[in-house]
């Protein structure tokens, strides 16, 4: 029994980590060589077929959705034909008011000649929803260099209570005189909606009006100096 045990012990050899690594490496090389041979044989027997072009479903027309707040439902209803006519007849688009979602939806159709008119129509409706008159908002369709810009009074300076009310009063002026001056000199249109200010005009004119409004928010008194400053800046630009 002792001699048999010694023989069994002698038959086992100690395996080091280095030997295990070499065995695994050798096995991996054998597998990779066998795989390459199999792929080569498979490629030789299989015919090369051209790749099929993917078939995608036809896309529907582009669409824009403009949300309408509840306080603009009545003006939208009263001026609906004035809004619908230029969008349908001149731009060749389709428009509807979705009663469930409360959005004005505009989309292209087969009569649409230029897809970029969809953006013009959306800006036109958005301008009306913000409070501009239809005849002023129509300029966004007729001219290419007009833009809309909106900001809040609190973005310029943090005001609350009576201080905020006085800032709105400085922008409007007595009887709206200061607001009319800011509109007429730089040739812009302005809508004051609570703490929000919306400006319609060209890029340079919007910049002039915004600078004047920001100065009024910061505390400059509404006076004749506002008109003088605007006239001087306008003369320098022209």
- 185 has pLDDT over 60: yes
Q: What average pLDDT does the chain have?
A: 80
pLDDT of residue 45: 46
What pLDDT score does 58 carry?
A: 47
Q: What is the pLDDT of residue 43?
A: 47
Counting residues of the chain whose pLDDT is more than 90, the rounded percentage is 44
* Mean pLDDT along residues 226-232: 67
Which residue, among 199, 187, 191, 173, has the nearest Cα to 234 in the 3D structure?
187
Q: Which of 73, 212, 76 is nearest to 156 (CA)?
A: 212
Q: Which CATH architecture has domain 148-237?
A: 2-Layer Sandwich (3.30)
Predicted model pTM: 0.67
Domain ranges, ordered by start, for the chain:
63-143, 148-237
| Position with higher pLDDT, 144 vs 200 | 200
| Mean pLDDT on 145-165 | 91
Same fold, 63-143 and 148-237: yes
pLDDT value, residue 6 = 47
CB burial string 71-92: b at 16+ within 10 A, e below: ebeeebeeeeeebeebbbeebb
In CATH, which superfamily holds the domain spanning 63-143? K Homology domain, type 1 (3.30.1370.10)
User: What torsion do the CA atoms of 206, 207, 210, 216 make, to the nearest 10 degrees?
Assistant: -130
Residue 201 backbone class (left: φ over 0; alpha: ψ -120 to 50; beta: rest):
left
Nearest to 79, CA basis, from 139, 141, 134: 134
């Amino acid at each position: 029994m002792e001699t048999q045990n010694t023989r069994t012990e002698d038959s086992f050899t100690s395996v080091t980590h280095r030997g295990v690594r070499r065995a695994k490496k050798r096995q991996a090389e054998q597998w990779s060589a066998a795989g390459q041979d199999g792929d080569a044989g498979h490629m030789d027997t299989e015919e090369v077929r051209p790749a099929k072009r993917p078939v995608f479903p036809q896309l529907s027309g582009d669409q824009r959705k403009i949300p309408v707040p509840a306080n603009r439902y009545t003006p939208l209803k009263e001026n609906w034909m004035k809004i619908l006519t230029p969008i349908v007849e001149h731009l060749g688009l389709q428009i509807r008011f979705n009663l469930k979602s409360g959005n004005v939806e505009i989309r292209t159709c087969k009569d649409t000649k230029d897809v970029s008119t969809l953006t013009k129509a959306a800006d036109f409706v958005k301008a009306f929803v913000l409070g501009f008159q239809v005849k002023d908002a129509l300029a966004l369709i007729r001219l290419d260099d007009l833009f809309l810009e909106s900001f809040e009074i609190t973005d310029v300076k943090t005001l609350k209570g009576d201080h905020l009310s006085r800032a709105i009063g400085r922008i409007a002026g007595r009887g709206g005189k200061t607001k009319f001056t800011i509109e007429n000199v730089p040739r812009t249109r302005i809508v004051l909606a609570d703490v929000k200010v919306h400006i319609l005009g060209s890029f340079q004119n919007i910049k002039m009006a915004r600078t004047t409004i920001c100065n009024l928010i910061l505390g400059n008194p509404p006076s004749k100096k506002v008109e003088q400053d605007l006239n001087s800046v306008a003369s320098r630009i022209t």
